[in-house]
Amino acid sequence: MNVLIVHVHPEAKSLTSSLKDFAVEVLTQAGHSVQVSDLYTMNWKSQIDGEDFLERLNYDRLDIVNESGKAFSEGSQTSDVIAEQEKLRWADAVIFQFSYWWFSMPAIMKGWVDRVFACGFAYGIGGSNRWRYGEGNLKGKRAMLSITIGGPEKDYSARGINGAIDDLLFPIHHGILFFPGMSVLPPFLVHSAGQLSEAGYGQVKANYRSRLLNLFITKPIPFRNQNDGDYDEAYQLKPGLEGDRTGLKIHQSIQTTVKKKQARTIAA
Amino acid sequence: MNVLIVHVHPEAKSLTSSLKDFAVEVLTQAGHSVQVSDLYTMNWKSQIDGEDFLERLNYDRLDIVNESGKAFSEGSQTSDVIAEQEKLRWADAVIFQFSYWWFSMPAIMKGWVDRVFACGFAYGIGGSNRWRYGEGNLKGKRAMLSITIGGPEKDYSARGINGAIDDLLFPIHHGILFFPGMSVLPPFLVHSAGQLSEAGYGQVKANYRSRLLNLFITKPIPFRNQNDGDYDEAYQLKPGLEGDRTGLKIHQSIQTTVKKKQARTIAA
């Protein structure tokens, strides 16, 4: 299978960069084809601006959605953006390897999303919101975040002070990756990354190897597809699903699955 | 009072830029001093790299936390970062004006956070985690996000398909702004920003004027301070608070406040 690794770290000797090298090695040995977009080495341009659109609809006022849609459909995007979109089309799975800075991805990786996820490619397909959340041009591809985190795991636990990591990652998992159709795997997380011992690094590699070898069989996070009947026409989760509960977890069908399993068990 | 507006949009005629101009006008007329950091116009550098640290501890391997701490304490940060930190020290309130791209801030604004929020300035104060979440160098300052959002409000409601906006903004509100000590106000949001009519824009300005004039009296989001007794020594929310519930809302003391009010009412 084809795997794209979008990698971000300014230091080639960092833990993050080592994990990227390790992933290339493990995946290649397992028979996969691997491409790496090493954004720092590529000197990736982070900010969207008028220069992103080679033939503008309107040079007097920049409307990013309109210009992005035109440039994507008419082939007047910049070559760096086109190259990344080609890699995404080629990929069966995408790994995002980065350090968790200020509870999100580093700026340069956000800039990759902002520029590569063009109108017509990752959103606004057919000029509508019909093809999103489980459907879209990236449907059928898998995505996994591989993140090194400075803080200890407990700070990110269900009642830890930072907030639960699943909730903190929701804007990326659901909003960036699931939105254009990707199946999102549980993240691979290395906590207390600054205090990792040699033995600890060995364990991290063993765990990561296992995740990499299972990349195409690991069960994705069960986010609800927009068009499978869980949401009403106003895009609200239908009454009865998850009771009246709120919170980000309601957008996963875990509990429904558990209930179905229980029903099956009871029936059996 | 002193207000810093950190502004991000590549188009000076955009709604986002108009709201920035409007805020400067309203705040100035109300007698406040205003500075604007217009990151696109400043050609702000988004990516942290070795060039951020003018006198390195180690030129062989870049450790960002260590180099950031040294550069901050010894005055060897770059002039652009120092200038922004000076503005933050000067400010009594900071407004972040941006368009909501891919469920977060644009890359260039994330790059402002990544670079300006240095070790010793916004985190790792005294080499520890003691001074964070309600305490830190930015304590006493107010922060407010002012965001234009393409999608309609209902998509971001409590059971809307995008996830509730309060939860989606938690990594910024709690993780970026409250972490170094700022009091975070409820955000000012303009939904369906691409479809705004002339009349709609008039209403938006009226609402924004009111928020701006109340900038120093609006009640902040009641995030729990780390060191006020709500968290145990392992930084877990203590049992009994919010029951056994999980989810990002538990890090606000809303329900406790309501209960106290109810208790007072009953006592009266």
CATH number of the domain that residue B194 is part of = 3.40.50.360
Which tokens go with A54?
A: 């080679």
- Cβ atoms of A164 and B246 closer than 8 Å: yes
- Cβ atoms of A226 and A132 closer than 8 Å: yes
Which residue bears the tokens 């729990």? Answer: B224
Same structural domain, B126 and B250: no
- DSSP structural state of residue B262: H
Same structural domain, B244 and B112: no
Which tokens go with B137?
A: 């160098």
Looking at beta carbons, which residues of chain B come within 8 Å of A161?
Answer: 133, 226, 231, 235-237, 251
| Test the B interface: residue of A43, A167, A184 with most B CBs within 10 Å | A167
Residue A58 φ then ψ, to 5°: -145, 115
Same structural domain, B138 and B260: no
- CB-based contact B107 A47, cutoff 8 Å: yes
Q: How much helix, strand and coil, in percent to the nearest 5, is found in chain A?
A: 40, 15, 45
What angle in degrees, to the nearest 10, is found between the helix axes of A107-116 and B107-116?
180
Q: What is the pLDDT at residue B254?
A: 79
Same structural domain, B109 and B27: yes
Same structural domain, B111 and B239: no
Same structural domain, B155 and B181: yes
Instruction: Pick A46's closest partner by Cβ from B47, B226, B251.
Output: B47
- DSSP structural state of residue B221: P
Same structural domain, B30 and B83: yes
Same structural domain, B186 and B233: no
Q: Whole-angstrom Cα distance, residue B245 to residue B222?
A: 17
- The domain of B236 spans 229-268
Among residues A40, A19, A149, A180, the alpha carbon closest in space to that of A95 is found at: A19
Which residue bears the tokens 């919010």? Answer: B242
Q: Is A112 helix (H, G, I), strand (E, B) or coil?
A: helix
Q: Whole-angstrom Cα distance, residue A71 to residue A58?
A: 12
pLDDT digits (tens, 9 = 90+) for B27-82: 999 999 999 999 999 999 999 999 999 999 999 999 999 999 999 999 999 999 99
Which tokens go with A260?
A: 């179905």
User: How many residues in total does chain A contain?
Assistant: 268
- Cβ atoms of B92 and B141 closer than 8 Å: yes
Residue B39 φ then ψ, to 5°: -65, -35
Same structural domain, A118 and A28: yes
Q: Whole-angstrom Cα distance, residue A41 to residue B16?
A: 32
pLDDT digits (tens, 9 = 90+) for B201-214: 999 999 999 999 99
Same structural domain, A241 and A132: no
| Test the B interface: residue of A47, A182, A195 with most B CBs within 10 Å | A47
At residue B255 the predicted structure's pLDDT band, cuts being 50, 70 and 90, is: low
Residue B91, min C-alpha distance to chain A (Å): 21
Q: ipTM more than 0.85?
A: yes
- Cβ atoms of A93 and A143 closer than 8 Å: yes
User: Torsion angle, CA of A80/A83/A87/A88, rounded to 10 degrees?
Assistant: 70
Interfacial A residues in 168-227 facing B (CB < 8 Å): 168, 170-172, 174-176, 194, 226
Same structural domain, B209 and B83: yes
Q: Which residues contact A231 (CB under 8 A, 6 or more apart)?
A: A224, A237, A238, B161
Which residue bears the tokens 């830190």? Answer: B136
Give me the number of domains chain A comprises. 2
Same structural domain, A163 and A242: no
Q: Give, for all 268 residues of chain A, the pLDDT tens digit.
A: 999 999 999 999 999 999 999 999 999 999 999 999 999 999 999 999 999 999 999 999 999 999 999 999 999 999 999 999 999 999 999 999 999 999 999 999 999 999 999 999 999 998 889 999 999 999 999 999 999 999 999 999 999 999 999 999 999 999 999 999 999 999 999 999 999 999 999 999 999 999 999 999 999 999 999 999 999 999 999 999 998 899 999 999 975 445 555 545 554 4
Q: Is B118 helix (H, G, I), strand (E, B) or coil?
A: coil
